[in-house]
Structure 1
Amino acid sequence: MTETRVTKKNLERFICRVLSTNGLPEDDACTIAELMVTADLIGQDGHGVFRLAQYVKRLKAGGINPKPVFALAEEFPASAVLDGDNGMGHLVMNHATDIAVAKARQTGVAWVGSRNSNHAGPASLYAMKALCEDMIGLYVAVGSANHMPPWGGTDMLLSTNPIAVAIPAAERPPIVLDMATTVAAYGKVKTAAQRGEMMPEGWMIDRQGNPLLDPTKSAEGFLLPIGGPKGYGLSLVFGILAGVLNGAAFGRDVVDFNADSQSKTNTGQFILMLNIAAFTDPAAFRSSIDDVWDEMKSSQRLPGIAEIRLPGERLDATLKDRSVNGIPLPAALLAVLDDLADANGVARLERQAAPA
């Protein structure tokens, strides 16, 4: 598979150009571009520039409000519900996270939910904003399309409903858990289809219960939950907390933003910030996380296991590599981006790779 590496700066500029051309104020477009490229930098390839064409399609069709006016629908000292006015999800959750951080500085713990939001990229994008604030971040979202039935059923009533938790360390990389409640996020199915790859057995089954391996036929089946009925239970509860609690879409009300470009998705999310200083000394806590890291890494290993890894370890390595060497984009995605540039009358993405 042919890939070309591009720089963070060039990719951000390209995304900002495309979004600005489609009605977003330049500052907002560039904020979204930075967040989208961060997704690519940390290896969340299914949630970065890969999604740009779909965002543009929804902007053009009126499915997303390019100039939202945010409002707090509910507010208490340690919590709030942000109405995103159908704006880009990245803007909604970026603002919600800022509110949560500010509240957590005062109250120790803060929970901010959203309604009338949209797809906002990977869950870790917002949980990780806690890391430079001496906080722990936890993010949950209702997925932007239903791809999973309740355990034992066939009606698509649940989504991947992801969760991310980011915990700062001192000298070691942060611990960052970012997972869907399905075995694979649907974005991975879409990227596999674009790359011409087959899916591993265990990601999806068809409606007769047989393994589904061809990602281009994903509509013929559904994603499987992690841990069988336990993953179903997590998806259900996360959907209630991020969707129902905020007055956002859940169950049959979830709009498939891939198939419907015009309807409001009313996506729900929440961000929880824990101010470490409200519990213990932040420096001591970070040092303790280093100890946890070292203890896990030094565990005796099973035969054939070369290394114990912690959540966020690969993310950290990917971020370091791509920050220096550029972001790899497959040929198929570059062709889509070139077509997108031509259709919107903006300059194509520059191909110069970052210096090695």
Structure 2
Amino acid sequence: MLERFKVPDEDKIFVDSEKIFDLTKNILKNIGVSEKGANNTASVLIGNDLRGVESHGVSNGLRLYLDRYKDGTYNPSPNIKILRETPTTAKIDGDNAIGTEIGPVAMDMAIEKAQKYGMGSVSVINTGHLAGCGHYVLQAAEKDMIGHCYTGSPAGQTLPTGGSEPILGTNPVAWGAPANEMPSFLFDIATSQVAGNKIELTRRTGAKLLPSWIADKSGNPIIEEIETPGKGDYHLLPFGGTRENGSHKGYGLGMVAEIMSNILSGAGPGLFNDHQGSDYFAAYSIDAFTDVQKFKLDMDSLLTKIIDSKPAKGFERVVYAGFLENEEFEKRSTKGIPYHKEVVTWFENYCKKVGVDFNLR
């Protein structure tokens, strides 16, 4: 994660990952979420925080989720149903469950199908925020599979290249693949130039937005560094930012995510339907294609070459997607997760209000 998104040293409070996991789980159970549902959501959010993906951890996620449970957007007791199923595919109705509750279930189903038939894919409708896609593809990588995930986030956020009206969501995508000794490959991105949740982090840290991250309300890319504008005063750009810098590629990949999640699931385009988004999960069993150990050793060869390659001027080293996240995971698992003091204060105040034991200080 870029330095501008990180918590300033003077504002950091280090929290043990098990303590924040337990507290997050207890808060969710307090509002009626089941033991399994609360465990799934806490696992996703704290897993993101451990990997340094704070934009999709408890700092932004939990209070948003609590608001959506309170206003009825999310169902704390969903009746999850399988609507269609073949040996290698399934379609699930999430009954307005939060995505972080049903996502691990859907990927586990895809993995089970891949274990039997080589490949498995599952689409989910009537669900909520997934908190990025990385957690789910790692589920597959941990089973010696390649994992793949799309989510069609709420529409009307991201402009098409050359457009002035936002059509798509941030529409994240992810791929994950295991290695032998090296950390797994983990590519997890929003298809917008910057994730919406990262903009929320800048409000907390006071960092500015870089040129071509967002556009004004007329669709003009803002090409200078600026303070974070108010909510509703800007549009997101597809990644690449401008046509000259390849935004048509981010726009196209955002369309792929829209098709594979919202349209393939039958939920329909997010722009024309009042839903929180749909998801697509896939797992590919490596041993259906090649020897697993050979695959993992070949991955090691490639990833090691990348890490050992000579950096360009101005860079300390060359890395690959998932390498830095693994470093953060190892460090934060022992030293704790550095949360902004505002986040810890929010937890303390919320726990007092609802009568949940607070144990972070």
1:24 alignment partner, one of 33, 37, 46: 33
In the alignment, which residue of structure 1 is the partner of 2:172? 162
Return closer, same or farther for 1:48/1:249 CA change in 2, 3 Å cut-off: farther
Deviation at 1:88, TM superposition (A): 1.7
1:1-356 correspondence runs (5 A)? 1=8, 2-50=11-59, 51-144=61-154, 146-208=156-218, 209=220, 210-211=222-223, 213-226=226-239, 227-248=246-267, 250-253=269-272, 265-351=275-361
| Aligned residues with identical type, % of pairs | 28
In the alignment, which residue of structure 2 is the partner of 1:260? none
Deviation at 1:251, TM superposition (A): 3.5
3-state secondary structure, aligned to 2:120 = strand
2-structure distance, mates of 1:7, 1:281: 39
Deviation at 1:295, TM superposition (A): 2.2
Q: CA RMSD in A?
A: 1.7
Q: Choose 7-16 or 194-203, whichever is displaced more.
A: 194-203
3-state secondary structure, aligned to 1:324 = helix
Q: How many residues align structurally? A: 342
Deviation at 1:218, TM superposition (A): 4.4
3-state secondary structure, aligned to 1:220 = coil
Deviation at 1:336, TM superposition (A): 2.1
Return closer, same or farther for 1:26/1:302 CA change in 2, 3 Å cut-off: closer
3-state secondary structure, aligned to 1:157 = coil
* 1:69-119: CA deviation from partner (whole Å, max 9, x where unpaired): 111111111111111111121121111011000000011111111101110
Letter in 2 for 1:215: T
2-structure distance, mates of 1:301, 1:35: 33
Runs of 4+ in structure 1 deviating by more than 6 angstroms, as ranges, are: none
Deviation at 1:35, TM superposition (A): 2.1
Deviation at 1:349, TM superposition (A): 4.2
State the TM-score, normalizing by the size of structure 1. Answer: 0.91
Deviation at 1:216, TM superposition (A): 4.1
Structure 1 unaligned regions, length at least 5:
256-264, 352-356
Contact kept? 1:109, 1:274, Cα under 8 Å: yes
Structure 2 unaligned regions, length at least 5:
1-7, 240-245
2-structure distance, mates of 1:249, 1:328: 40
In the alignment, which residue of structure 2 is the partner of 1:262? none
3-state secondary structure, aligned to 1:84 = strand
* 1:275-317: CA deviation from partner (whole Å, max 9, x where unpaired): 0000111111101100011222333443343321111111111
